[in-house]
A and B are shown apart, each in its own frame.
Chain A
Amino acid sequence: MARLGVTRLLAILAAALLAAAAIAGCGSSSSESDAADTGASTSAAADGGGNTIKVGILHSLSGTMAISEVTVRDSELLAIDEINRAGGVLGKQIEPVIEDGASDWPTFAEKAQKLISEDRVAATFGGWTSASRKAMLPVFESNRALLFYPVQYEGLEQSPYIFYSGATTNQQIIPGLEYLKEQGARSLFLVGSDYVFPRTANKEIKAWARANGVEILGEEYTPLGHTEYGTLISKLQEARPDAVFNTLNGDSNVAFFKQLKGAGVSAREMPVMSVSVAEEEVAGIGPENIAGHPVAWNYYQTTDTPENERFVRAFKARYGADRVTSDPMEAGYVQVHIWAAAVEKAGSTDPEKVKEAARGLTFDAPEGRVRVDDVNQHLYKTARIGVIEPDGQIREVWSSDGPIAPDPYLRTYDWAAGL
């Protein structure tokens, strides 16, 4: 006992970390039982004999991404509820089957397969990180099943079995850059988390900057879950860019903005434009730490439409007055309604028929009218730049003239030719 060597303990620790990774990989489906309890017999095919239509909800309910993804699950369930109360689709009630992606990309693929082949869902709403979408993509394509993906992403993708209801690059990042340029920014510093979305987005931003005479003074990546931004902030203070373009994801934003404020860098001297910080994240960062910084999205809780007023009221009534609504939550809510409308129009839940019916479909969303693109299955969306207020809400300061056509491959931009 006295001499359980350090080396051995080290080996044990290493084994434990490996085990941790492995077990996290297996994940757990905490709500499988919900699905089994509530439903009609599992053998009923999606629009077969049963009196319900099953749909999959596949988000991370545990692990590091749960913070964000749980909120999207909430708004998707709200949409399903609304549709059911209005009589369902094709006269049947929608029955959600909820699975946990556990912030682990192979688990997303595994659960997607389970939803398709065991639960025989008509469609799946899910994912957040691009890594999880890339993991699910081959599953949905090989099964010819539908995935609705609710989050802004880096573009350069167009799967025939995925509907992209969040913004692609030209509906969020490029308007964000144009706005900074219009405000007089001639130099930028790029800060991002170290994975596929920020790296791809920054490649596009650098191409844009070359074409627009904007200087890129630096490009820094930090691992997901990074908590220490002292060094990065001193690099920012040395480079003195006119603005910072921030593609950090998750918890890191909290540490970054708290420490930026602690270092005495104000939004006035160095505005930080974020594309992954919405109302939900602002609450966790603390409005006083991030007030005055700009963000780029397609929807804010303050967006002034009658549909949004209804959406916010319904959401707060169901989940509590202290909850906020955000862009990905709105996209989650909208995509359920779009799927339901397409099913009604097609008169069937057959994926091919739903895809056909969805072409050009419009929906009066909380963010304003959206339309499904005929070809690439992305949405026409209005770009909105907002500034974060001290009360945690986001005030819109600029918006595009009407919805922007989605262009995931940036084909209409000359500077993006080599990407």
Chain B
Amino acid sequence: MEVFLSQLFIGLSVASMLLLVALGLTFTFGQMNVINMAHGEFVMAGAYTTYVLQTSVFGAGAATLAFGLSLPLAFLVGGALGLILELTLIRRLHGRPLDTLLVTWGVSLMLQQLARDIFGAPNVQVKAPSFLEGGVTVAGVSMPYTRLFIIGLVVVALIAIWLYLSKLPAGRRMRAVVQNRDLAAASGVRTPRVDRLTFFIGSGLAGVAGVAVTLLGSIGPTLGTNYIIDAFLVVIVGGLGQLRGAIVAAIALGLANAYLEYWTDASLAKAAVFALIVVFLQFRPQGLVVTRRRGLA
């Protein structure tokens, strides 16, 4: 029972990290059909933002302040990078998914090398704020504060996105473009502008994920490559552009990883999860949740 509960917590914790990285992709992939291979590098940019704030701006003494400020700042840095990418390249490759894929992959390599030139090849370290040290034990399950914080961060991000999509005019325009781009355009929605905004928000979320990564993993030029494939899996299993789908898929993948790894080992669990996904896609190639596109095509 205790094992069941502790793996449940680990599974949810894995899921929260997956979801945080995948959230932004769900939008850009879903709305614009852009497979953004540089998404992982926006995560890296977020992590380095935290590092720069802590070491160069505030110094190690103010770790908590630096960490708190890095959340909004990483959103802006990630978003700005995404916006530049959209304006300079992706906009010109509209409707050519294969080309955007290669282009963004090239951009991802360039960003990695840029990080290596600026920050050096070795990993850097971000000090976790003191209030995240330690953990709490409930019903025999030890829960580190860092993992609880990331779960909380995802919940906040989800609520914010949900409010944006359902309450704000800009969010409603975004949903309109996802459902039927041509009709939305014909109804007076300026789709290029919506695209830009989507890309900004999606990339900004990657930056926020980067801040979370500093609590659990390494901060180096190739950080993004560790997360990008799992994030794509979440998007594909969840269904394109589907918040609900992404949540369910992330939780399912997180739990599957946690329990399978407990029974076998990490390498085997990874292979088993891939196998499950292949089988799943045979039966449901559109993913868990299907967008009802209101189009004739």
Answer yes or no: are A and B bound together in one complex.
Answer: yes
Q: Which of A222-230, A332-340, A362-370, A374-382 contacts B (4 or more CB under 8 A)?
A: A222-230
What's the minimum C-beta distance from A76 to chain B, rounded to whole angstroms?
15
A417 in the interface, Cβ–Cβ < 8 Å?
A: no
What's the minimum C-beta distance from B68 to chain A, rounded to whole angstroms?
19
Q: By the criterion of a CB under 8 Å from any partner CB, how many residues of chain A are at the interface? A: 57
In the complex, the answer to whether A4 meets B33 with C-beta atoms within 8 Å is yes
User: Chain B residue with minimal CB distance to A5?
Assistant: B285
What's the minimum C-beta distance from B122 to chain A, rounded to whole angstroms?
5
A211 in the interface, Cβ–Cβ < 8 Å?
A: no
B151 in the interface, Cβ–Cβ < 8 Å?
A: no
B114-126 CB contact bits vs A (8 Å, 1 = yes)? 0010001111111
- Report Cα–Cα, A231/B121, bound state, in Å: 29
B23-40 CB contact bits vs A (8 Å, 1 = yes)? 000000000010101000
Chain A neighbourhood of B97, CB < 8 A = 4, 9, 12
Chain B neighbourhood of A263, CB < 8 A = 135, 142, 144
The answer to whether residues A2 and B262 also contact, given A10-B281, A12-B101, A284-B125 and a CB cut-off of 8 A, is no
- Report Cα–Cα, A59/B297, bound state, in Å: 52
Interface residues of B in 186-241 (CB under 8 A from A): 215-223, 225-227, 229, 232, 236, 239-240
- Report Cα–Cα, A6/B280, bound state, in Å: 13
The answer to whether residues A67 and B123 also contact, given A16-B37, A228-B14, A254-B217 and a CB cut-off of 8 A, is yes
B266 in the interface, Cβ–Cβ < 8 Å?
A: yes
What's the minimum C-beta distance from B277 to chain A, rounded to whole angstroms?
10
B181 in the interface, Cβ–Cβ < 8 Å?
A: yes
- Report Cα–Cα, A263/B133, bound state, in Å: 10
In the complex, the answer to whether B105 meets A264 with C-beta atoms within 8 Å is no
Tell which of B97, B222, B240 has the most Cβ of chain A within 10 Å. Answer: B222
The answer to whether residues A284 and B262 also contact, given A66-B221, A222-B267, A264-B135 and a CB cut-off of 8 A, is no
In the complex, the answer to whether A264 meets B142 with C-beta atoms within 8 Å is yes
User: Chain A residue with minimal CB distance to B290?
Assistant: A6
The answer to whether residues A231 and B7 also contact, given A6-B285, A254-B217, A286-B127 and a CB cut-off of 8 A, is yes
A84 in the interface, Cβ–Cβ < 8 Å?
A: no
User: Chain A residue with minimal CB distance to B220?
Assistant: A67
What's the minimum C-beta distance from A114 to chain B, rounded to whole angstroms?
21
- Report Cα–Cα, A231/B113, bound state, in Å: 33
Chain B neighbourhood of A234, CB < 8 A = 3, 6-7, 10, 262
B93-131 CB contact bits vs A (8 Å, 1 = yes)? 001011001100100000011001000111111110000
Chain A neighbourhood of B126, CB < 8 A = 286
In the complex, the answer to whether A12 meets B98 with C-beta atoms within 8 Å is yes
- Report Cα–Cα, A235/B134, bound state, in Å: 19
The answer to whether residues A230 and B10 also contact, given A12-B97, A62-B113, A223-B267 and a CB cut-off of 8 A, is yes
Which positions in A face B, CB cutoff 8 Å? 1-7, 9-10, 12-13, 15-17, 19-20, 61-64, 66-68, 70-71, 194, 220-223, 225-228, 230-232, 234-235, 238, 251, 253-255, 258-259, 262-264, 280-281, 283-288
8 contacts between A and B (CB under 8 A): A3-B297, A4-B33, A9-B236, A67-B220, A230-B13, A255-B217, A285-B218, A286-B127
